[in-house]
Chains A and B, each alone.
Chain A
Amino acid sequence: MAAGAAPRPRVTADQLRKRRSRSLKEEVIRLSLLGSALVSVFVSVGIVSVLLGEALPFFGEVSVSEFVTGTTWTPLLEPRHFGVLPLVGGTLLVAAIAALLAVPVGSLAALYLSEYASPRVRRRLKPTLEILAGVPTVVYGTFALAVVTPTLQAILPDVRVFNALSAGIVVGIMILPMVASLSDDALRAVPQSLRNAGYGVGATKREISLGIVYPAAFSGVISSYLLAISRAIGETMIVAMAAGSTPRLTLNPLESIQTMTGYIVQVSLGDTPAGSIEFQSIFAVGLGLFLMTLAMNLLSQKIMARFRETYS
């Protein structure tokens, strides 16, 4: 190297400029990715504020206590009554029928898949069951009207054209794969050593399944039940099509009822001007629906988190 010549700079000015623009580009990309992640925050805030924004004026006209404890729901007829209990009752009746079907059948199916089925049978049966979860609810609704209700009417002559039983059964079929699939995951997470301990004392497979595996996976199983029931509470099309539109506080599943979601659909199919009390009432009902499903989902996540801790 000749003496006196300036040392070659490690980084030329040109390269520096390129590097700065590269880091600017990096920053822009990072910010736009952050932006996409923050959409979830806006959606959450949006749902809550839309429900509150329309429900608060409603609660200016109808007191909260009248809404929550009232037993008559006649929002479209004079004299108007805004007691939400008939809608809540209808929702819970349908969800209870669905749970009565999906919880025992789904749990037994989960026990079969995790404890009895060979890997080959499992690989075929589980995806087939999961197809049920992908069937659009409007198809289930058509199925309820075209197949389930006429079948029920042939067995029980008292069944109305629109009834809670038919809707509940079909909602139960819809949430069945959810119970089976999530419970199966929970059951399979139980360590093999617990089963082996059962075989060691001479227990049969049924005794191990029901006495050891199911109790050991109980919190995971319970959280699958809660998620499925929350789905049943929020289900809209099946109940709007098959359960009827008669708000009624009843335990008789053969009668026509109306659920919270069913009412929201009924009002939005009509020409209800924004700002009217009927329009606002669907947001009050929606707020109730949101709080019910959110509570069940949070509870389910909490139980699930405790279950994960046990076996990790």
Chain B
Amino acid sequence: MTASDRFRADSGRRHRRERTFRRLALSATWFGVVMLGILIVGILKDGVGQLSLDFLDNFPSRKPEQAGFKAAIWGSVWAVSFTGVFSVPLGIGAAIYLEEYAHKGRLVRILELLIANLAGVPSILYGMLGLIAFVRMFGLETTTILGIEVPFGRSVLAGSATLTLLILPVIIIASREALRAVPDSLRQAAYGIGATRWQCVRHHVLPAAIPGMLTGVVLALSRALGETAPLIMIGALTYVAFVPETPYDLFTAMPIQIFNWASRPQLEFHHLAATGCIVLLVVLLGMNGLAVWLRNRAESRKA
């Protein structure tokens, strides 16, 4: 066999390999998409039969045909709303400090390292922190400080505080990116006419960065909405047949209720878990749509 014969044979083999590899890589990419499809179809198949207004409007029950999602839906609304109230000022404040105020020194380096690592801490460990620090407050006797009852117990307040710590790194990282995207010329213009640092941030930088920050906030809150493990740790209850009326009330949440139904032996409850998943996914889809809409609006404004 001459060298050119060998080359020709080899070349054929190389191109066959090229085609095979391309197909393999393409199917690997589609694998995830197909799995998403199977997940959605599987959940719909099990759950859509029980989806009704009664399901949305009934409290949990020992009888599967009467059990509903009402306490869980409202518990989630309460917990995530308070999480937003706590985490948005704290997260955006921290981002403003790091981007607009701090000198790039050791403090910033340490804070960056901590934030990056906090983002990687398993959520269940935040639950353990919440259990000791918020639910029990290190074994503190029940008292009232500044009109706030402490320790928080297994209340909405304890759940929101725990979820706040969990999503804080996400909000800080997203808000810093939004601040970094604001052109420096804007700041220089503000300082040029004698604005103080806060005036510059408040009137010039923040308005430009808010749409990008909101996208991050909505995504972080949708993560809080789907979190289960930290709420199990702080003892959010599964059998709650009421809607919270104050932040000190006991509560349950959509993921907790789903987990509870899925862990029961009866098949009917497994189907209810799937129905709960549908409701949870629809709400999350809405929040993601909102985030995309905010991002698009921010981008079209810039252009």
Contact = CB atoms under 8 A, between A and B. Distances in A.
Given A112-B28, A134-B284, A53 B33 contact: no
Q: Which residue among B90, B93, B120, B172 has the maximum number of chain A CB atoms within 10 Å of its CB?
A: B120
Contacts of A87: none
A293 B117 CA distance: 9
A41 B129 CA distance: 14
Interface in B262-285: 262-263, 270, 273-274, 277, 280-281, 284
Given A30-B101, A210-B21, 9 more contacts: A22-B196, A46-B129, A47-B126, A50-B132, A51-B128, A129-B33, A134-B288, A176-B35, A234-B125
A32 B126 CA distance: 24
A23 B196 CA distance: 8
Given A47-B126, A109-B29, A116-B25, A33 B96 contact: yes
B84 interface: no
Contacts of A206: 17-18, 21-22
A292 B96 CA distance: 32
A218 interface: no
A167 interface: no
A108 interface: yes
Given A37-B102, A105-B28, A265 B94 contact: no
Contacts of B122: 233-236, 261, 289-290, 293
A108 B32 CA distance: 12
Interface residues of A, number: 90
Contacts of B129: 43, 46-47, 50
Contacts of B46: 146
B286 interface: no
Given A26-B196, A46-B129, A297-B117, A139 B14 contact: no
A289 B32 contact: no
A283 interface: yes
A217 to B, nearest CB: 15
B29 A129 contact: yes
A145 B118 CA distance: 31
Interface of chain B, main secondary structure: helix
A228 B213 CA distance: 26
Nearest to B225: A136
Contacts of A135: 36, 39, 226, 281, 284
A83 interface: no
Contacts of A32: 93
A274 B198 CA distance: 46
30 contacts: A25-B198, A33-B94, A39-B168, A40-B94, A43-B168, A105-B31, A105-B32, A125-B33, A129-B29, A129-B32, A134-B222, A135-B36, A136-B284, A137-B228, A146-B270, A147-B38, A205-B18, A227-B120, A234-B124, A234-B125, A236-B122, A236-B229, A264-B233, A268-B235, A274-B136, A274-B139, A283-B128, A289-B122, A289-B124, A293-B121
Interface string A89-131: 0000000000000001111110111011100000001001101
A128 B121 contact: no
B26 A116 contact: yes
Interface residues of B, number: 85
A106 B30 CA distance: 11
Contacts of A234: 121-125
B15 interface: yes
Contacts of B49: none
B43 A54 contact: no
Given A139-B258, A141-B262, A33 B172 contact: no
Given A112-B25, A268-B232, A26 B198 contact: yes
Contacts of A25: 198
Interface stretch (B55-63, B108-116, B142-150, B180-188): B108-116
A130 to B, nearest CB: 9
Interface in B154-211: 165, 168-169, 172, 196-198
A36 B39 contact: no
B124 A261 contact: yes
B10 to A, nearest CB: 11
The 5 closest A-B pairs by CB, nearest first: A234-B122, A136-B226, A36-B93, A108-B28, A112-B25
Given A30-B197, A177-B32, A142 B128 contact: no
Contacts of B94: 33, 36-37, 39-40
A301 to B, nearest CB: 6
A132 interface: yes
B93 A33 contact: yes
A129 B165 CA distance: 27
Contact of B262 (A43, A145, A147, A207): A145
